[in-house]
Amino acid sequence: MMWAVWWVWVVAGFALGVVEVLVPGFIFLGFAIGAVITGVLVGIGLLGANVAVLVLVFALASLGAWFALRQMFGAR
C-alpha cells in the first residue's frame, strides 16, 4: 500500500512546495503542509493504512494550513 508509506506523503509535500515556488500565489502551500503533516502522523504510527482516513486527515490538515496562511499573509 503506497498510501500507508510515510515518506511518500513527505516527498509529495516537498514536491508541492517546489511547485509553490514556481507558481505565483499561495495555491499549493497549504496542500504541501497538509501532506507533510499526514506523512509525519503516518511515520510516528498515529495513522494506519486506511485510505479514507489518510485522505480525510490530509484534507483537514491542508484546510487548517490554508486558514493559518490566510491569517498570516492576509487576504488579497
The gap between the terminal CA atoms of the chain, to the nearest Å, is: 40
Q: Taking the model in full, what pTM does it have? A: 0.88
DSSP string, 9-69: HHHHHHHHHHHHHHSSSSSSHHHHHHHHHHHHHHHTTSS-S-HHHHHHHHHHHHHHHHHHH
At residue 47, the pLDDT reads: 81
Long-range CB pairs of 13-19, under 8 A, 24+ apart, other chains included? 13/38, 13/39
Domain residue limits, the chain: 2-73
At residue 28, the pLDDT reads: 93
> In this predicted model, which residue has the larger pLDDT, 21 or 45?
21
The pLDDT tens digits for 12-34 are 999 999 999 999 877 899 999 99
| Residue 66 grid cell | 490554508
